[in-house]
């Protein structure tokens, strides 16, 4: 082992997000700097939310806010804070002409009508877990606007479909804070270094294993799940697979991305269209997973999530996402069950 002080005391700290974005800017579809700046704005907001999450217990930011969002869900105080912080960062950044948020009914015009992009986001996924210190996250999706530059954004800017995303990602606030994103050229992950206030490249080429032994779903809905889902889950249990579910989509998804596995939020009798929102939960995570070599479908008919035609800004969708072989297996089981049913009848 070398005793050279340079090797011991001055090891490189790594590649910052800022430097990485500048190096990769030439790969962006429209490499004029606006998308690069937009990613920086999102990273800045992520740093601010990381601070708010870490001090929530000391600053009276835990607990319910006392209102419901457009989804009919109880808003937590940090939901409201995260929504404000991200919208403010995107307004001040100047690159996004509009924002679609889970927390608000209507499109939020930033006043930056010259901006070429729109952002759809879930400012704080899994907020029901805030009070019990379970990892939570932010999910975002970026589109190049289709409405004329210089005018306010329209619904059509957000209803382009999942294949039109130019970038998507998430920020995970857990034992460490990570920013994971794709611009359609693979998936990269950055870990936040608190003392320096910077995101550093920690996962340069994220690829999900093609198979896994982890399944994530809320088995409390067992009797409301379609039969093909229950059959698949029974098979997983017979094989000794591990059931892992914390109730934060970003956290459960992130584990599957790194270790291999499948996350499921199937349709139920009460929610036949599923619970997760298509534009700012399913689309961005599906874009990432496909770029990482995995798969994401919406149900038994094997429709790729990114091929679903959107009709509403707050549209919902079932979701089966993760290792490609596991997703293929559950779809094959559904197809086989349907074929058997038709033959018997």
Q: Does 164 show up as a binding residue in the annotation?
A: no
Domain annotation covers residue 208: no
**Are 263 and 319 in contact, with CB atoms under 8 Å apart?**
yes
Chain mean pLDDT for the chain? 88
- Both 180 and 276 in one domain: the answer is no
In whole angstroms, give the CA distance from residue 335 to residue 329.
10
Domain annotation covers residue 28: yes
What's the domain count of the chain?
2
- Both 222 and 258 in one domain: the answer is yes
- Both 199 and 315 in one domain: the answer is no
Q: Does 125 show up as a binding residue in the annotation?
A: yes
Q: Does 47 show up as a binding residue in the annotation?
A: no
Residue with tokens 């005793």: 3
From 203, 232, 258, the end of a domain falls on: 203
Domain annotation covers residue 299: yes
> What is the reported pLDDT for 343?
45
Domain span at residue 89 reads 17-203
Residue 50 has pLDDT above 90, yes or no: yes
From 183, 203, 223, the end of a domain falls on: 203
Q: Does 102 show up as a binding residue in the annotation?
A: yes
CATH number of the domain residue 228 falls in: 3.40.190.80
> What is the reported pLDDT for 179?
98
> For 9-43, how does the pLDDT look when each residue is reduced to its tens digit (9 = 90+)?
555 678 999 999 988 876 655 556 888 999 999 99
| Predicted TM-score (pTM) above 0.75 | yes
- Both 134 and 220 in one domain: the answer is no
Residue 6 has pLDDT above 60, yes or no: no
Q: Does 100 show up as a binding residue in the annotation?
A: no
Mean pLDDT of 287-303: 95
Q: Does 4 show up as a binding residue in the annotation?
A: no
- Both 137 and 33 in one domain: the answer is yes
Q: Does 343 show up as a binding residue in the annotation?
A: no
> For 71-105, how does the pLDDT look when each residue is reduced to its tens digit (9 = 90+)?
555 567 888 889 999 999 999 999 999 999 999 99
- Both 143 and 176 in one domain: the answer is yes
In whole angstroms, give the CA distance from residue 251 to residue 174.
8
Domain annotation covers residue 3: no
Residue 254 has pLDDT above 70, yes or no: yes
In whole angstroms, give the CA distance from residue 117 to residue 126.
26
> For 98-146, how does the pLDDT look when each residue is reduced to its tens digit (9 = 90+)?
999 999 999 999 999 999 999 999 999 987 787 788 899 999 999 999 9
- Both 106 and 253 in one domain: the answer is no
Q: Does 34 show up as a binding residue in the annotation?
A: no
Q: What is the 3-state secondary structure (H, E, C) of 185-250?
A: CCEEEEEEECCCCEEEEEECCCCCCCCCCEEECCHHHHHHCCHHHHHHHHHHHHCCCEECCCCCHH
- Both 140 and 107 in one domain: the answer is yes
- Both 91 and 178 in one domain: the answer is yes
> What is the reported pLDDT for 133?
82
């Amino acid at each position: 082992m070398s005793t050279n002080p340079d090797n011991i005391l001055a090891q490189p700290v790594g590649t910052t997000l800022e430097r990485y974005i500048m190096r990769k800017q030439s790969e962006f579809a429209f490499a004029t700097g606006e998308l690069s700046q937009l990613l920086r704005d999102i990273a800045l907001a992520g740093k601010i939310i990381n601070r708010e999450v870490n001090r929530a217990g000391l600053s009276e930011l835990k607990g319910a806010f006392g209102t419901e969002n457009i989804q009919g869900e109880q808003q937590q105080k940090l939901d409201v804070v995260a929504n404000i912080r991200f919208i403010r960062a995107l307004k001040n950044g100047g690159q996004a002409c509009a924002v679609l948020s889970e927390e608000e009914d209507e499109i939020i015009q930033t006043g930056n009508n010259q901006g070429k992009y729109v952002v759809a986001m879930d400012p704080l996924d899994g907020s029901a877990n805030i009070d019990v210190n379970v990892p939570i996250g932010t999910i975002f999706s970026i589109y190049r606007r289709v409405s004329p530059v210089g005018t306010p954004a329209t619904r059509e800017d957000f209803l382009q479909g999942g294949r039109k995303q130019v970038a998507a990602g998430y920020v995970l606030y857990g034992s460490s804070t990570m920013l994971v994103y794709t611009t359609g050229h693979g998936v990269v992950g950055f870990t936040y270094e608190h003392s320096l206030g910077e995101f550093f490249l920690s996962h340069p080429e994220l690829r999900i294993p093609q198979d896994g032994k982890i399944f994530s779903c809320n088995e409390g809905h067992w009797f409301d799940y379609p039969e093909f889902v229950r059959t698949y889950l029974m098979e997983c249990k017979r094989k000794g697979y591990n059931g892992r579910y914390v109730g934060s989509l970003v956290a459960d998804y992130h584990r599957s991305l790194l270790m291999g596995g499948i996350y499921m939020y199937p349709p139920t009798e009460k929610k036949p269209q599923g619970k997760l929102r298509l534009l700012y939960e399913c689309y961005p995570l599906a874009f990432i997973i496909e770029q990482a070599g995995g798969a994401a479908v919406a149900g038994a008919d094997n429709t790729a999530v990114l091929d679903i035609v959107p009709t509403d800004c707050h549209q919902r969708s079932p979701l089966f996402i993760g290792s490609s072989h596991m997703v293929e297996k559950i779809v094959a089981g559904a197809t086989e069950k349907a074929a058997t049913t038709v033959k018997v009848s």
